[in-house]
Chain A
Amino acid sequence: MIKTFLPNYTKKIAFALYLVAVVFSCIANVDSFLSGYHAASTKAEYNPENITYDSIPNNLEKRYTWISLAFSFTGLLMYIFSKEKVEDEYMQLLRIKALTWSIVLTWLAVIFTMIFITPLEGLYVLQFQLVAFLGSFACLKRFE
């Protein structure tokens, strides 16, 4: 059984925290985005060593990334541990099913990225699992 400690209204706070995380993540990655965008728009071969954008200092980029991760984890965990409007044993069953799905999806994502892109790093694997859990729970609630 997965305990839900927080009241239902904390879901809204959790969502707001996650939005803050998305904003910080966008700011932290704006230079990489500009480099990629420039390379794409000029059809030039992307080479980060030749093209440098420095709208945000490097140390701030790292700080914003960490702030984004902190907000993201807080928001996601808060959402997971928030009660539904009507909390009953069926919701608990759906949570257990969602947890199983999230493990499967995370394994698939890790294997996929390892083979085809670059492997997911530790914290991002955990973050993906939390998102996969919430996605699976929402789908099960809607379609089962």
Chain B
Amino acid sequence: MQNTLKIQRAIKNVTQAELADAIGVSRQSINTIEKGKFVPSTMLALKFARFFEVPVEKIFILDEDD
């Protein structure tokens, strides 16, 4: 699974720490999600979508082999 979290952050001009505070997770979690090391739960994905005001599919994209 790929994600556009870093791009969405850049569009909205927020830092990892600010996003972490807004969502209620640690900055380390944001970092690992952006690097693709950790796939968040549905609830967390929906929180990201609500924060960036975009559909979840715009942030998290399934690979062909997923």
Closest chain-A Cβ to B6's Cβ sits at a distance in Å of: 17
**Interface SS, B side:** loop
Given known contacts A144-B32, A144-B37, A89 and B44 CB-to-CB distance under 8 angstroms: yes
Q: Mark A76-104, 1 if CB is under 8 A from B, else 0.
A: 00000000111011110100000000000
Q: Would A141 and B28 count as touching, CB distance under 8 A?
A: yes
Chain B contact patch, size range: 10 to 19
Q: Write out the residue numbers on chain B whose beta carbons fall within 8 Å of the beta carbon of A91.
A: 26, 29
Q: Would A88 and B37 count as touching, CB distance under 8 A?
A: no
Q: Mark B1-37, 1 if CB is under 8 A from A, else 0.
A: 0000000000000000000100011101100100001
Query: Which A residues lie at the B interface, using CB under 8 A?
Result: 84-86, 88-91, 93, 141, 144
For this complex, 9 residue pairs linking A to B, each with C-beta atoms less than 8 Å apart, are A86-B24, A86-B26, A88-B24, A89-B29, A89-B40, A90-B28, A90-B29, A90-B38, A144-B37
